[in-house]
Amino acid sequence: MKQVAALELRSVDLQSSRNNKAHHTQEMGLRRLIVRRGQPFTLQLHFNRPFHCGTDHITFVAETGPAPTKLSGTRATFGLTQARQGNAWSASDFTIDSNSLFVSLFTPASAVIGPYTLKIDISQGQGYSMTHPVGTFILLFNPWSAEDDVYLPSEILLREYIMMDYGFVHKGHEQFITSWPWNYGQFEEDIIDICFEILNKSLYFLENPSKDYSQRNDVVYICRVVSAMINSNDDNGVLQGNWGEDYSRGVSPLEWNGSVAILRQWSARGGQPVKYGQCWVFAAVMCTVMRCLGVPTRVVSNFRSAHNVDGNLTIDTYYDRNAEMLSTQKRDKVWNFHVWNECWMIRKDLPPGFNGWQVLDPTPQQTSSGLFCCGPASVKAIREGEIHLPYDTPFVYAEVNADEVIWLFGDGQAQEILAHNTSSIGKKISTKLVGSDQRQDITSSYKYPEGSPEERSVFMKASRKMLGSRRASSPFLDLLGSEGFRDQPALLRLHLTRTPEWGQDLLLTLHAKRVPHRAHPRGPLRLEVRFCAQALLHKGGTRQPLWRQIVHLNLDFGEEIQWPLLLPYNNYRNKLTDEKLIRVSGIAEVEGTGRSILVLKDISLEPPHLSIEVSERAEVGKPLRVHITLTNTRTVALSHCTMVLEGSGLIHGQVSNDLGTLVAGHTIQIQLDLYPFKAGPRQLQVLISSNEVKEIKGYKDVFVAAARPS
């Protein structure tokens, strides 16, 4: 009987193009195999002779990590079978065509994510066995698979929270919310490799590589690792935070257009933290990493966000009699806004009912299990006050629900409560609206309507859990849950008379109205109102006063007075931070009563506006004409202007130009051609920065048509 030649592997076709399209990874490129767990993919193995089912035995071996073992889930061996074997590694549904074997490989929806090597062992009978390398592939989470913990059953939401590679970060102030364009760029070809590089530089990996890899099947674990690695407080994380004003050793957080440049710089410099980031930069970069790994993710902004370190659910702020906001040694602050992430997942570690969106916050604020990371905290748990559920739920609950207490301070002590605000924290919680450039308000997913019985009930439940035995020992806590604790004889409001633009005088009006009440005398009310303006810092503090004024008012019973106020440009010129925020505060002393009334107004100064126009049709490989126009409508020149353009699928990396000085009243026009290299919806981000104004931003949505056949 003629002996059959030993089966030998001659070549392999990983069918990357076909598989990547089926697994929604084609945007990452078609040259290498990138697949999602819980979904089959096909290979073609070409041998020296036809494969014989009865006598040829093939065993597949898939391995990931530094020391793969079956026990840790980083090594899988599986033979060739006719039908798939449930939710387990399998090779099945094979067909034989001459010397080729077409086979479908299936990875379980609970498999470890990461780069894998694939081999086959070929044996005939009991003896001869030979191992052949097949190739490598990258395995990602699969939100399209109902078996995966990140399953999101909506194609529209998947298009937004996985496939969309640009978006917006909402910044500014609750009354002046601005939408900042951001290039996530999660499908740029090297970003997937940088994402796994991030995991491999984490303290968990460095401490115990095998254990770390064995837990990479768990989305909760991956989220916590990434949350810790985006900041550099414990490790060689991606970004170094800087909330000062000196960015001379790096890039101002305001001058980033997207995540790609940050991630590439971090990788190219061997994991040295990139300088500098603040909350929106940390969150936007984490969004890039999580979407790239296959976890539905969005960026969320919380306006007037409490940073409640001592866990007492109140933030104390102090003013003196001249209406100056005082600095304090306490770390508790109300941030103008704070930005974090939400990731979508099933929480098998929690009781039923807490799946869905989970808060992850990569900004280093406080430690969690010894590292600077935060979350995942269930948004539903935050809404219901179930703050005992992991992870870091009390901290996030306080960010959106803490009470604000404003004190009048004098003679070395707090003298009077000026305001106790139960609804001033956690305002206009915002994210990008699905399929739109608009902002979506998602405050109602975090809390019941302010002042409603449900909201106060949840607050009392959470405060009992957070404060425990401390609650009984603090008389001030009797204020918690109480509605306004006293009536004021007059109502004061500050309004802007016109749009506040940087470089121009600011016009305000004080509205003072006598409040009719039987507890107040009916005669004229004499008020001395002391005003103070200070630069407002992002983390809630202020700089030294830049403007003061005193106003005397006589209010008759039922009377309303409007008093104009002028804050000249020269007073705030060179006194503001790059974010151009001013707090105007006033304290009115009511003559003969010893009582004080507080009035506050935060002002966000608008920068000059950019105009961006593009030619009507955009097509892959064809020039796309871009016109950018900036008019300096202010009274002062903008010096050392630089322009940076970015946009995944439109530009490889960035395009930078020095523009020189833009004189007051003059216009600068830039014209250039781009050559789009990816079809579909794209976004061009433009940043013009100067010494005087750091963030003049604009964007243009562009739909790029596929290249026409030649």
Residues marked active site are found at 279, 338, 361
Q: What is the DSSP string of 326-392?
A: PP-S---EEEEEEEEEEEEE--TTS-TT--EEEEE--S-SS-BTTBS----EEHHHHHHT-TTSTTT
Residue located via tokens 């807490």: 354
401: number of Cβ within 10 Å: 26
Query: Using an 8 Å Cβ cutoff, are 577 and 547 in contact?
Result: no
Give the SS3 label for residue 487.
Answer: coil
Helix (H) or strand (E) holding 461: helix 453-467
Binding site annotation covers 416? no
Rounded (5°) CA angle 103-104-107: 140
Tokens of 577: 């931070």
Give the SS3 label for residue 164.
Answer: coil
Burial string for 117-128 (b: 16+ CB within 10 Å, else e) reads ebbbebbbeeee
Neighbouring residues of 539: CB distance < 8 A, sequence distance ≥ 6: 243, 307, 333, 335
What single DSSP character describes residue 604?
E
Nearest to 385 by CA among 405, 373, 401: 401
What single DSSP character describes residue 162?
I
- Burial class of residue 327 (count of CB atoms within 10 Å of its CB; 0-12, 13-18, 19+): exposed
Burial string for 533-572 (b: 16+ CB within 10 Å, else e) reads bbbbbbbbbbbebbbebebebebeeeeebeeebebebebb
Tell me how far CA of residue 355 lies from CA of 22, 290, 349, in angstroms.
27, 17, 10
663: number of Cβ within 10 Å: 13
Instruction: Please state, in angstroms and rounded to a whole number, the distance separating the CA atoms of residues 207 and 217.
Output: 18
Binding site annotation covers 165? no
Dihedrals phi, psi of 136, to nearest 5 degrees: -125, 155
Dihedrals phi, psi of 572, to nearest 5 degrees: -105, -10
Residue 210's Cα: distance from chain center in Å? 30
Instruction: Please state, in angstroms and rounded to a whole number, the distance separating the CA atoms of residues 649 and 681.
Output: 9
Residue located via tokens 């913990």: 149
Give the SS3 label for residue 62.
Answer: strand
Rounded (5°) CA angle 23-75-288: 40
Helix (H) or strand (E) holding 588: strand 581-590
Rounded (5°) CA angle 594-596-598: 175
Tell me how far CA of residue 600 lies from CA of 184, 201, 486, in angstroms.
37, 46, 19
Binding site annotation covers 56? no
Nearest to 104 by CA among 18, 9, 24, 8: 18
Q: What is the dihedral of CA 44, 49, 51, 57, to 10 degrees?
A: -100
Binding site annotation covers 578? no
Instruction: Please state, in angstroms and rounded to a whole number, the distance separating the CA atoms of residues 427 and 337.
Output: 9
Known binding residues for Ca(2+) = 401, 403, 450, 455
Summarize the annotated binding site as residue ranges. 401, 403, 450, 455
